[in-house]
Structures are given as C-alpha cells and as structure tokens.
Structure 1
Amino acid sequence: MSTKPKIAKYKALDKLAIRLRDDLNDNHFVLLYAYNGTGKTRLSMEFKERGKRLKGSTGPDTLYFNAFTEDLFSWDNDLDNNTERVLEINSKSKFFNGLRELALEEKIFAYLERYAEFDFKIDYDEWTVTFNKEETTHIKISRGEENIFIWCLFLSICELAIDGAEAYNWVKYIYIDDPISSLDDNNAIAVASDLAHLLKKGKGKVKVVISSHHALFFNVICNELKNDGCKRHFLLKNGNDGLTLRATDDTPFFHHVAILSELKQVMESGKINTYHFNMLRSILEKTGTFFGYDDFSKCIYGIEDEVLYSRALNLLSHGKYSIYEPQEMGPDTKDLFIKILKAFLDKYQFELPEMLVEKTVKSQDDKQGTTTAG
C-alpha cells in the first residue's frame, strides 16, 4: 500500500540547503526538478556557501556548475581588427586550480567531440581559449557551442575530483544546476547519459546534487541513477511564502502531470491568472503529441462546446503573459478556463499528485523554519 510522499515547506534557502546536505548523508545523489524562476541558482550558491560556514571548515567543499560558472568566461572580440577573437578565462577562480598543471585539453576534447565539431586551444600564459573549424582559426562560436565547451571543461574537472587529483581534493560535493541551455533533445539525452555515467564512477567518492527545469534531461538522469542511492524531489514556489519540497521517489514523475496538478489547484482556489491559459494549452499540445493528433484541440474532441473551447484556447493562449507580473482573469474568462480544464480532466483520468496541502503538521524540522505534511 503506497503512502503519500513527504512535503516540506521552507521560508529560507539556507534551511533548504541544510536539508539537501542531510539527504546526502544517506544518499549518493539528490535530484531536484523545478521551474525556471524558482530559485535553483540561488539555492546552489547557498549550498556552496553553507560548506564554508560549517564548524571546522577549512574552505569550500562544493564544485558547482550554474549561471555563475558561465560568467567565469568572457569574449574579447578584437573590435579593432575583428580577427583575433578569444574567450577569456577568469583564472582567479578556484574552479581552474588544476587547469594549467594537469593539461586538460585531451579530457575536454574527449567529451566535446561527442557534441560539437570545432577544436580549441588554451593559452595558459594569457588565460584565453581560441576556437577553430578546419582551417579557420579564431572563430566566434555560438552561445550554445560556448555553453557546451564550458560544460565539457566542467566534466573534465569533475573527473579529476572523482579520481582524487590533488588540485581538487577539497571537493566533497558536486552541485549541478541546469547544464543544458540551448541544447536540442538529442544532445540533452546524450549529456544526461554521459553525466550519469561519470557520476556513477564517482559513487562513494563525492556526493552530488542536480537541479533542472528540463523535463527530458531530468527524466533521463532519474532513470540512469534510480538504483544508485538517489533521492528525488519536486521544488516549487509556495506562493509568496517560500518554497515547497515534495519527495517524488515513490511516484512516477512527469513534468506535465505536475503542471496539471497546479492548474487544478488554482482552479479550485479561484486565483486564476492569464498565463494559466498558456500552461493549459501547453498541456493539451503535449497530450496531443502523445496520442499522435495533428491538432491539440482534438484532445477535447467530442465534448460539449468543443468548438468554443478550441477557439478560446487559440485566442487566449497567444498573449505574452508574464508569470512575474501576473494578471488575474476576468470572471467570464475564469469561467471558460474552468470549463475547459474540467472537460479535459474528465476525459483523461490523470492521477494527479498533491503538490500542496492546506494543513501542515509541526515537526522537529519546524525548528529550522519548515513545516511538513504527508
């Protein structure tokens, strides 16, 4: 008989970072799924800073990849001559401790050749990288290519940390936040698979947290690591009152099911914003693709007012509605949204997870600013 997963609420990121470190006492990996704008990057930095503040700490203990990692690189586009374009490396970061001594080019290229078709050269005196394709040198690579190069460099450093290289013997944890911006689905699968293979190699040597908003990447990582001491969570905003962490270890995790659960809750609360129509259309499109329909409106085929609902979804989901500046729907539009969502849920009997609960039970965790329910 299954039990409801534990749900915890956190008002502060430092308490959530403590929770993740506690999870890693009993697990090799912690995986977090969270939408953009939830605070994943800030959480990764809080996790890193927490290591510095621990009693008896001698310095950082976390090797991390996030938006700040990409900021360690910047372009000099040679505006005077427009020929000698180089990617500059911020050598002051501890991230690059072993780069010069350990000559990582071969390791980096072993990863890079799986995803890209350009070559590179690192100048350790100037701390710059030049890129070339065939006979053309000093090329400016695309943002996506730059991201994958930085990612491959990071994987090479992870490999050194896992192998116990002296320059990275301070690494006890690896924290990876959204490594796959600008990648297509095929490369997202390849990146997830390659990462899981490397992390399995380091099982028992370093503990790892991975957070992502990319459903495909997250599901591949979950499947690859599920038998290797892995804790999985869904992280989402709790209105304006912090964050909610929901364990998903015993529940099949699907991104669109979580969104449906959220839509059902806003429908029941009556606090429906204009951008929720965009979310609803996205769900219908994914469902239509799954069933092989050539149009998402076929997901509501045969129900009462089918034509009206289809037109409404087309019209009302084309606005550029912001989740950061939500606009509440008018009464008539709310009523239409509710009817469409109810019709969809009646036709497709999804088993929706309970993402939030109205009643919470105080626990020992509350001493750290949390409440739990389950």
Structure 2
Amino acid sequence: MSGVRKYKSLRTLVTRLRDDLSNPTKPTSLLLVYAYNRTGKTRLSMEFKDAGKRKNGGRSDTLYFNAYTEDLFIWENDLEGDAARHLRLNSDSNFFNGLKDLALDKTIAGYLSRYADFEFDIDYEEWKVSFRKGDAEDIKISRGEQNIFVWCLFMAICERLLDGHTSYQSRSFLYIDDPISSLDDNNAVSVACDLAALLRRAASRKDSNGAAAPIKVIFSSHHSLFFNVMCNEIGRAKEDQPKVAHKRYFLHRPNGDDSYILRTTEDTPFFHHVATLAELQRASDPTEGKLYTFHFNALRSIMEKTASFFGLAVISFCLKAINNEEDRALYNRALNLLSHGEYAIHEPTEMGEDNKDLFRRILRDFVHEFEFNVPDIV
C-alpha cells in the first residue's frame, strides 16, 4: 500500500522519523504527526529523546515538550495558612538549565497576555512561581491556566534556543507532543498559529555566519482542530518567508500492541472523523474485530460532526438520509440509549450480539448514504 509502512517497535519507528529529518539528499525540517490518544505518542517522544542520547554518548540532542514536562511543575497549596500558594519548579530537571540566565519573564508575559488574564512572578532563587490577578495575590490558578503558563514558558525557552543561547546549543531537535490540553477552540487556533510561526522560524534558522542551521521539529497531536490549523499554517505560502519542507503523517496502532502503522497524508491533513470511521469499521469486523459499548459513543460523535458540517446540530439529519423509516426510528432509539452512560475505555464492556448486529447496520448505512471514502489504514 503506497504511503503506508508498518514498524514493529517504537525504536524502529524513531529511526524512520530521524532519517526523515536527517536525509541529506531530500531534507525535511518538520514532521506533523496526527495520532489518537493512547497510541503511544508520549512514549514515542521519549524514545526519540533516548535515541539521541544513545547516539551522542549520553548527551541529549532534543528539547521536548510532553506530559512529563507538565509534571515538572507542582503546587504548594499552603495548607496551613490557606493564603500563599505557588507553583514549584523541579530544579533537578535539565529542562530548566540556564533558566536564571535566560531573562524569560518578558517573553513569557508576551505570550501569556494573548491567552489569559492573570500575571506571574518567578522567584529564581526559590524555584517557584506565584500568580496574581487584579488585587489578588498568590492565587491558585486553574489546571487549564497552569497548562497555558507552562506552555508559554516552553515557547520562551524555544525562542532562546533559536536565538543561539549557550544553555541549549546541544539541541538540534524539537519534539512537541500535544502542547495544550483542555483548550477551547478559540485558544486552540491562537496557540496553533503562534506555534506554527515559531516552527517556521526554526526551519529557516541561520547561524551567525548566515549559513543554514535549522532546528528540526516533530509535532504530534490528537487534537484534530489544532492539527489542521498547524497543517494549514505550515503548508501555505507566506510572503517574504521561505517554504517549509515538511511531511504529514497519521500514526496508528491497529492491534493495541507494540506495532505501529505510519501513513503519509500527502497534501491535506488527515481528518479525525474519517480516521475514526476506519477504526469503527475495523472494530465491527465480524471475524477479527471487537465491539465495545463505548463504540456507540464514537459513532454518535461522528454523526454529530457530520451534521455540524452541514450546519445542523442534531444527528437526526444523518438518519434522514436512510430510506427505511423503520430503520431510522430504530437507529435513533439505539443511538440515544446506547451512546449514553459511563462506559470506561480503560475497562471496556463488550457489546451483546444483538447490539453488535445493530451497530454494524447503523455504521454500514451511515457510511454508504454519505459516501465516505474511508481509508484502508488497517
């Protein structure tokens, strides 16, 4: 299958990604990777970092952002006084190398003001950050606001890396996995545009002598809107800016084991809902698939997105395309009843045989009536 390759381990997949970025005859500055949650994106980013250490005698060549990065910030909630709360930085991490010398406050504040309305103070001697809003000092910010602050700090560090600061000159790769969780769509677009601008700068970076010195980048995400904005911002021509040589991939782990499929998505982003339909078709295969109760939730979500695309808010729009009135009524009842409830994905419950048959019928008719071109990713 053209544009699709299978890898038996994270290590072999990382070799492929590094080869893409280091190919001397066909250089690529940036890889954009779309993958579902629980595909192994965080582990992939750590394996990429570890591969660099193995290659460079224990010295890291990658500045990365992933779930581990956010864990470097821990709240001190002042349980006794219940007044002076702050965020403590893990000073043992190499992530903060040279932080005292980077003068990041102004750069962080510049980014933060675009997404939030609180302010901060960094105590570099005590390795802590306090927050304020209006007259309120030492406030506890929300998890979403904390994630925004951490991301702005990372973006500021990236700017110093691109500026050539000595603390980060061993880093020749940036690996960014799922930058922000719990973002509303408006902020997702803003953050994606800012990140795309930074990565374009990384791709076209030059050294002090004017020679090309790009920082190579891998960006991965499960957030379909974020990913599509990144693809559009990186792919389109910008006035007075060089074109960014990049590749786009859909990363898939079809059997839940340690084998991975990497699919080239060519000129357009790989749309999340179409990929999900392919997953549902695989799960509904009578001989090799397994259907769980949460698959009804996924199918209903796809129908809602389809209706939304046509400017409507309810899935009855999708069901109206089905000719048989009895089937329409049955499918509507099934989707309303079976796509609600607390279905744990980590401890899934397999469907009964009757519900499996019903699910297959709904999926088959939906895909047929709307003529989806579902990719053969499995």
With structure 2 as the length reference, what TM-score do the two structures score? 0.89
What secondary structure does 2:285 align onto?
Answer: helix
Matched, 1:278 2:297: yes
Runs (5+) with no aligned partner, structure 2: 205-213, 236-242
1:196 Cα deviation after fit:
0.5
Matches of residues 164-203 of structure 1 in structure 2 within 5 Å?
164-203=164-203
Matched residue of 1:157: which SS? helix
Are positions 1:233 and 2:249 aligned together?
A: yes
Contact 1:300–1:343 (CA under 8 A) maintained in structure 2: no
1:8-58 Cα distance to aligned partner (Å, 9 max, x none): 22221111111111111231111111111111111111111110001x446
The residue aligned with 1:254 is 271
Match of residue 23 from structure 1: 20
Q: 1:220: which partner in 2?
A: 229
Does residue 331 (structure 1) correspond to residue 353 (structure 2)? The answer is yes
Aligned to 2:211: none
Distance 1:149 1:252 in 2: 28
Specify whether residues 196 and 302 from structure 1 end up closer, same or farther in structure 2 by C-alpha distance, changes over 3 A only: closer
Q: Is the 8 A contact 1:108 1:152 kept in 2?
A: yes
Q: Classify 1:15/1:83 alpha carbon distance in 2 versus 1 (closer, same or farther; 3 Å).
A: same
2:65 counterpart of 1:46? no
Task: Please give the per-residue CA displacement for 1:63-82, whole angstroms capped at 9, x wherever unaligned.
Answer: 01111111111111111111
Query: Is the Cα contact below 8 Å between 1:5 and 1:248 reproduced in 2?
Result: no
Q: Which one scores higher on RCO, CA 8 angstroms, separation ≥ 6?
A: 1
The one-letter amino acid of 2:179's match is P
Partner residue, 1:14: 11
1:211 shift after superposition: 0.8
Measure the CA separation in 2 of the matches of 1:157 and 1:302: 52
Question: What residue number does 2:74 align with?
Answer: 74
Q: Give the RMSD, CA atoms, in angstroms.
A: 1.5
The 1:50–1:24 alpha-carbon spacing in structure 2 relative to 1, beyond 3 Å, is same
8 Å Cα contact 2:29/2:203 also seen in 1: yes
**Equivalent position of 1:365 in the other structure:** none
* 2:248/2:269 contact within 8 Å kept: no
- Code of the residue aligned with 1:275 in structure 2: it is F
The worse-fitting range, judged by mean Cα deviation, of 45-54 and 334-343 is 334-343
Aligned match of 2:363 in 341, 350, 354? 341
Unpaired segments ≥5 residues, structure 1: 357-374
Inter-CA distance 116–61: structure 2 relative to 1 (3 Å threshold): same
1:78-119 per-position Cα deviation (integer Å, ceiling 9, x unaligned): 111111211111112121122111221001101110001111
From 293, 300, 310, the counterpart of 2:319: 300
How many pairs align? Answer: 352
The farther-off stretch of 269-278 and 172-181 is 269-278
Asked whether the 8 Å contact 2:304–2:313 carries over to 1, the reply is no
Distance (Å, rounded) in 2 between the aligned partners of 1:328 and 1:84: 49
Deviation digits for residues 278-318 of structure 1, max 9, x if unmatched? 11111101011111224212211152110111001111111
| Amino-acid identity (%) | 56
Once residues 285 and 86 of structure 2 are traced to their aligned partners in structure 1, the CA distance between those partners, rounded to angstroms, is 55
- Which segment drifts farther, 13-22 or 206-215? 13-22
Q: Tell me how far 1:269 sits from its aligned partner.
A: 4.1
Structure 1 distance, partners of 2:311, 2:162, is 44
Question: 2: distance between equivalents of 1:48 and 1:295?
Answer: 45
Q: How does 1:121-200 map to 2 (within 5 A)?
A: 121-200=121-200
The residue aligned with 2:240 is none
Alpha carbons 1:188, 1:217 under 8 Å: kept: yes
Query: Residue 370 of structure 1 aligns with which residue?
Result: none
Of residues 261-270 and 120-129 in structure 1, the stretch that sits farther from structure 2 once superposed is 261-270
- Taking a change above 3 Å as real, the CA distance of residues 322 and 167 of structure 1, as seen in their structure-2 partners, is same
Counterpart of 2:115 in structure 1 is: 115
Counterpart Cα distance in 2 of 1:5 and 1:190: 35
Contact 1:5 1:250 in 2 (8 A): no
| Bigger mean CA deviation after superposition, 110-119 or 196-205 | 196-205
Q: Distance in 1 between matches of 2:351 and 2:129?
A: 51
Distance in 2 (CA, whole Å) between partners of 1:88 and 1:250 is 43
Distance 1:35 1:301 in 2: 30
Mapped to 1, the partners of 2:103 and 2:58 lie a distance apart of 27
Residue 355, structure 1, aligned to residue 350, structure 2 = no
Q: Contact 2:228/2:269 (CA < 8 Å) preserved in 1?
A: no
* Equivalent residues of 1:63, 1:175 under 8 A apart: yes
Q: Residue 353 of structure 1: SS of its match in structure 2?
A: coil
Aligned partner of 1:210 in structure 2 is 219
* Cα displacement (A) at 1:238: 2.2
Q: Secondary structure at the match of 1:218?
A: helix
Q: SS of the counterpart of 1:333?
A: helix
Contact 2:62–2:171 (CA under 8 A) maintained in structure 1? yes
SS at match of 1:36: coil
Over 4 Å off, 4+ runs: none
Letter in 2 for 1:14: R
